[in-house]
Amino acid sequence: MNKDQTLKSKKTNLNSNLLGLFIFMVAVFIVMGLIKPQTYFSAANFQSMCFQFPEIGILAIGVMLPMITGGIDLSMVGISNLSAIVAALFMIHVIPEGASEGTQVVMVITAFALAIVVGIACGFFNGLIVTKFGTPPMIVTLGGQYLFMGIAIILTEGKPQLGFPEFFQELGNGTIGGAIPIPLVFFIIVAVITYYILQKTPYGLKLYLIGANQKASRYSGLKVDSLLRKTYGAAGLMSAIAGFILIARTNQANADYGTSYTLQSIMIAVLGGTNPNGGAGTVSGVVMAVLTMQFISTGINTMGLSNVNFLRQLVWGVALIAVMAINYFSAARKAKKALQST
Amino acid sequence: MPDVFLRVNNIYKSFAGVKALRNVNMTLNYGEARCLVGENGCGKSTLIKVISGVYKPDSGTIELNGKTYEKLEPMESIENGIQVIYQDFSVFPNLTVAENIAMNTLRAEKAKLVNWKTIRRTAQEALDRIGVKMDLETNIEKLSVADRQLIAICRSLLNDVKLIIMDEPTTALTKKEVNSLLNIIRNLKKDGISTIFVSHKLDEVMEVSDTVTIMRNGEVVADGEVKDFDMSKFVYYMTGREVTTEKFVPTYEDQSELLRVENLSAKGGFKDISFTLNKGDVFGITGLLGSGRSELAQTLFGYYRATAGNIYINGVKTEIKNITDAMDEHIGYVPEDRLTQGLFLSQPIKINLLASVLDVYTKKMQLMDKEGQQEAVDKQVHDLAIKTPDVDNLVSTLSGGNQQRVVLGKWLATLPQILILNCPTVGVDIGSKEEIHNIIKKLANAGMGIIIISDDVPEVMNTCNKVAVMKKGRLINTYTHDEVTEEQLSSELS
């Protein structure tokens, strides 16, 4: 093979995967739209989609971070619920009856800060165990999931927590200018900041290096343990944000809410090109993956079938396997080409 | 039985326009040991893959046991008794010695149930055949590289082998282990089993080989009996030019003390190590695997912590508790195992060169300074003459010698005052090796203090002005390079 060609194929490797995902996303969008075009291609439908995906989207971006380092976080939903419950308990018990709007805003911001602190602390705890004892992240965070859920159950005695200020519910259900859902704004902020951190800062690049070769990272002088603790802390932070939006939208906090989100967020991260073995993963990929999943799920909802939940999961599963198969075959083809050129 | 086991006739093979093999001929008799040498990318591996049926030649034929094949299938190659032992030996680290040896036979018999007695008996017979004693129940992961290799050999013996092809068999072995391997080969020769060595380390394989084939750029440039070749002739054929080696004499003006180590010890690693490294010195520490040489290097780099003793840098007592401390003192370390400790194979060359200086090239808001990074990368690529069309290519696309330069460049970018190199030219071909040695000498002459850890005695003799021998965790002797000969060092080693 001539040198320029090999060069090109290597450089565009990553971009071609993202391009493939983009085409897949557009195709899904169109196919799903054709089921019931009038309902699907309406402003109301787009708005409702934008209310639905931010929570899972933030979780998927969150889980991508430890996955880039070659780890994983199975405790994100546990952290979401625990931090949301701490915020909920604060709002329910501290905000006085009939408080002014100003007080409400301050209290909600305090509650948000509290949730963030709890989220980061939980994530940091995961990171500490992973780095101190060298336990596989899968085991540590699986344990973490049960630990955080357990604490949440003790705090709430297993009962749902209700009764938040009006203003708070706006964060989950309100819009900016009657068009842009507030949860979407949270998602965009998280996505943009994560994008910048991963692409533009040394910290971001170091995450990829740890995932590519942890031993070489140590030998290159990277402070691997501290970087990993920060990364699990960041995943905890995103869990807290997702949890906060969730209780604002549903107006209640539960110790065991959204347990199916754990695996869904990992599925979306992988679909978005995150390598479960570490070293690869992009925000743009995960954003496209979460949109793809949302298009599928909305499309199926427009069919108006009764067993919609099962069908949705089935189609999601097929989509994931299809993308993996496509990636596998294109990688195999590239490998074959590379072999022949050695 | 005919004398000739294998004959390769006029083989041509090209990949997408690049000619990897051009009119290659080779003959191998029963019981013959042939050494196949050449620099990286000369076509050695392609030829081996043609013989083992992995690649189909574009034209030409392969004769095995008198039968001519135009397209040899891998299974046909194995059925004819050809076994290739690759560098990674393809052993199963989680299984025992017995299981590893008997694995293939077990599979060939299509046994549905495992008979442990048979497995142990088969394995024992194979070990006896090469005269090696080993506990059958040990897990392979606990064994040394040399033992793993023996197991790979045992396994191939069970398949009624006629020809063993060994890819870089001595790379990771100590002198003693190499000798016992060569003895085994001699015994196999008596049984009429042929061997092809693919190797860089000429002196070792020359001892046991009868014949040699030297390749360059896909062609056979020399073929004959080993006794007709000497070292310089080998090097000439391999590289196409004369490689000269001169002893290193430091020329840096200010030869003041840079690093002084006093009675340094680390439990289980080494004891009472003392030496001094001046500016402009290249200090060689030579010792066998397990002599504590790597532990010493890694302790100076902060990977391990010393349990006793003192380190002085520029005359100031310094504690090195971790790698960050070492880097603060501008100590760099090029690790022994390039692939697992030195490189990020799935990442571009550029990122590999920048890995240790990511925090150096930053702008406000913690953002990366891409221009500064690019300058640093360009400087290393230029200074070290790293051969690549584009630094955004993956580092895995480079040859061994160029990969080693990338690891070196990663550390040079940190502007070290002390650079520790652990086996810097393992798996690097002769031409590249000489160039890396020249780079090291140049760095020393610019004032850097360099420590080379190596069991390659000629390398230590050629590049260092001071040499120490390490044995069982202690530095037993320290010489300047004109006080000692290669032979003397070699004998002190083993």
Tell me which chain A residues have a C-beta less than 8 angstroms from the C-beta of B356. Answer: 220-222
Confidence of residue A235 (pLDDT cuts 50, 70, 90): very high
Query: How many angstroms away from the CA of A210 is the closest CA of chain B?
Result: 9
What's CA A218's distance to the chain center, in Å? 28
Res. B110: pLDDT tops 60: yes
Residue B249 lies in a domain: no
Res. B431: pLDDT tops 80: no
B445 and B357 in one domain? Answer: yes
3-state DSSP: chain A helix, strand, coil percent, rounded to 5? 80, 0, 20
Tell me which chain A residues have a C-beta less than 8 angstroms from the C-beta of B346. Answer: 212-213, 279-280
Asked if B21 and B47 touch (Cβ cutoff 8 Å), the reply is yes
Where a domain ends, among B239, B267, B301? Answer: B239
Tell me phi and psi for residue B219, to 5 degrees.
-120, 155
Percent of chain A with pLDDT over 70: 92
**Which has more confidence, B480 or B160?**
B480
Interface of B with A in 120-139 (CB under 8 A): none
Mean pLDDT value of segment A314-325: 84
B161 and B95 in one domain? Answer: yes
- In angstroms, the CA B51 to CA B243 distance is 32
Mean pLDDT value of segment A125-146: 95
Confidence of residue B168 (pLDDT cuts 50, 70, 90): confident
Query: How many angstroms away from the CA of A341 is the closest CA of chain B?
Result: 5
Q: What is the pLDDT of residue B245?
A: 63
- Listed residue (B449, B453, B464, B445) closest to B419, CA to CA: B449
Residue B248 lies in a domain: no
- In angstroms, the CA B417 to CA B252 distance is 13
- Identity of the residue in B326, B340, B389 whose CB atom sits nearest the CB atom of A215: B340
B307 and B203 in one domain? Answer: no
Confidence of residue B309 (pLDDT cuts 50, 70, 90): very high
Query: How many angstroms away from the CA of B66 is the closest CA of chain A?
Result: 30
Separation in Å, CA B432 to CA A323, B39, B267, B402, B424: 43, 9, 37, 8, 11
Confidence of residue B1 (pLDDT cuts 50, 70, 90): very low
Confidence of residue A131 (pLDDT cuts 50, 70, 90): very high
Q: What is the pLDDT of residue A5?
A: 41
Provide the β-strand partners of residue A180: A176
Mean pLDDT value of segment A84-112: 88
Q: Model confidence over B297-308: pLDDT tens digits?
A: 999 999 999 999
The count of domains in chain B is 2
Confidence of residue A109 (pLDDT cuts 50, 70, 90): very high
- Identity of the residue in A206, A279, A342 whose CB atom sits nearest the CB atom of B358: A206
Q: What is the pLDDT of residue B176?
A: 74
Q: What is the pLDDT of residue B208?
A: 82
**Which has more confidence, A62 or B455?**
A62
Residue A18 lies in a domain: no
A342:B15 CB<8 A: yes
Residue B39 lies in a domain: yes
- Identity of the residue in A218, A220, A340 whose CB atom sits nearest the CB atom of B410: A220
Percent of chain B with pLDDT over 90: 34
Q: Is B323 on the interface with A (CB under 8 A)?
A: yes
A212:B345 CB<8 A: yes
- Listed residue (A7, A68, A22, A56) closest to A312, CA to CA: A56
Confidence of residue B104 (pLDDT cuts 50, 70, 90): confident
Q: What is the pLDDT of residue A335?
A: 66
For position A277, which CATH number holds? 1.10.3470
Res. B378: pLDDT tops 50: yes
Residue bearing tokens 């290193």: B248
3-state DSSP: chain B helix, strand, coil percent, rounded to 5? 35, 25, 35
A213:B345 CB<8 A: yes
Q: What is the pLDDT of residue B239?
A: 74
Structural domain span for residue A296 = 48-330
Pairing mode, if any, of strands B18-29 and B4-15? antiparallel
Number of Cβ within a 10 Å radius of residue B78: 18
Query: How many angstroms away from the CA of B393 is the closest CA of chain A?
Result: 7
- In angstroms, the CA A69 to CA A103 distance is 42
Mean pLDDT value of segment A241-247: 95
**Which has more confidence, B384 or B107?**
B384
Asked if B15 and B193 touch (Cβ cutoff 8 Å), the reply is no
B62 and B125 in one domain? Answer: yes
Res. A2: pLDDT tops 70: no
- In angstroms, the CA A15 to CA A61 distance is 19
Residue A132 lies in a domain: yes
Query: How many angstroms away from the CA of B487 is the closest CA of chain A?
Result: 34
Q: What is the pLDDT of residue B169?
A: 75
Residues belonging to chain A with any Cβ–Cβ distance to chain B shorter than 8 Å: 1-4, 6-7, 10-11, 200-203, 205-206, 208-209, 212-213, 215-223, 279-280, 340-342
Q: What is the pLDDT of residue A242?
A: 96
Percent of chain B with pLDDT over 70: 95
B348 and B218 in one domain? Answer: no
pTM: 0.80
Mean pLDDT of chain B: 86
Mean pLDDT value of segment B373-400: 88
- Identity of the residue in B341, B397, B414 whose CB atom sits nearest the CB atom of A216: B341
B321 and B443 in one domain? Answer: yes
Asked if B464 and B452 touch (Cβ cutoff 8 Å), the reply is yes
Nearest residue in chain A measured CA to CA from B42: A342
CB contact burial A264-295 (16+ within 10 A = b; e otherwise): bbbbbbbbbbbbeebbbbbbebbbbbbbbbbb
Q: Is B18 on the interface with A (CB under 8 A)?
A: yes
Q: What is the pLDDT of residue B119?
A: 85
All residues at 6 or more sequence positions from B14 whose CB lies less than 8 Å from its CB, including other chains: B20, B21, B58
- In angstroms, the CA A106 to CA A96 distance is 12
Tokens linked to A240: 């807290």
Residue A174 lies in a domain: yes
Residue B13 lies in a domain: yes
- In angstroms, the CA B182 to CA B190 distance is 13
Inter-axis angle of helices B400-412 and B370-383, to 10 degrees? 130
Query: How many angstroms away from the CA of B45 is the closest CA of chain A?
Result: 9
What's CA B296's distance to the chain center, in Å? 20
Using DSSP, state whether B90 is helix, strand or coil: coil
- In angstroms, the CA A120 to CA A115 distance is 9
B300 and B226 in one domain? Answer: no
Highest mean pLDDT among A173-187, A221-235, A245-259: A221-235
Query: How many angstroms away from the CA of B395 is the closest CA of chain A?
Result: 11
Q: Is B364 on the interface with A (CB under 8 A)?
A: no
The count of domains in chain A is 1
Mean pLDDT value of segment B205-220: 85
Tell me which chain B residues have a C-beta less than 8 angstroms from the C-beta of A9. Answer: none
B354 and B221 in one domain? Answer: no
Res. B212: pLDDT tops 70: yes
B180 and B83 in one domain? Answer: yes
Structural domain span for residue B360 = 257-493
For position B296, which CATH number holds? 3.40.50.300
| Residue at B72: amino acid letter | L
Residue A280 lies in a domain: yes
CA angle A299, A305, A308 (to 5 degrees): 70
Highest mean pLDDT among A103-107, A227-231, B423-427: A227-231
B426 and B280 in one domain? Answer: yes
Confidence of residue A39 (pLDDT cuts 50, 70, 90): confident
Confidence of residue B233 (pLDDT cuts 50, 70, 90): confident
Tell me which chain B residues have a C-beta less than 8 angstroms from the C-beta of A6. Answer: 397
Mean pLDDT value of segment B30-37: 90
- In angstroms, the CA B66 to CA B71 distance is 15
Nearest residue in chain B measured CA to CA from A339: B15
B366:A202 CB<8 A: yes
Tokens linked to B381: 């690529």
Mean pLDDT value of segment B30-34: 91
B394 and B291 in one domain? Answer: yes
Res. A1: pLDDT tops 60: no
Mean pLDDT value of segment A200-217: 95
Where a domain ends, among B187, B213, B239? Answer: B239
Query: How many residue contacts between A and B have a Cβ separation below 8 Å?
Result: 92
Residue A307 lies in a domain: yes
Mean pLDDT value of segment B30-56: 86
Q: What is the pLDDT of residue A11?
A: 44
Where a domain ends, among B209, B239, B269? Answer: B239
Tell me which chain A residues have a C-beta less than 8 angstroms from the C-beta of B326. Answer: 221
Q: What is the pLDDT of residue B191?
A: 85
User: DSSP letter string over B294-330?
Assistant: HHHHHHHTTSS--SEEEEEETTEEE---SHHHHHHTT
Nearest residue in chain B measured CA to CA from A3: B389
- Listed residue (B134, B337, B208) closest to B152, CA to CA: B134
Question: In the sheet that B316-318 helps form, which strands lie side by side, from edge to edge?
Answer: B270-278, B257-266, B308-313, B316-318
Residue B179 lies in a domain: yes
Q: Model confidence over B474-494: pLDDT tens digits?
A: 888 888 888 888 778 877 876
B263 and B234 in one domain? Answer: no
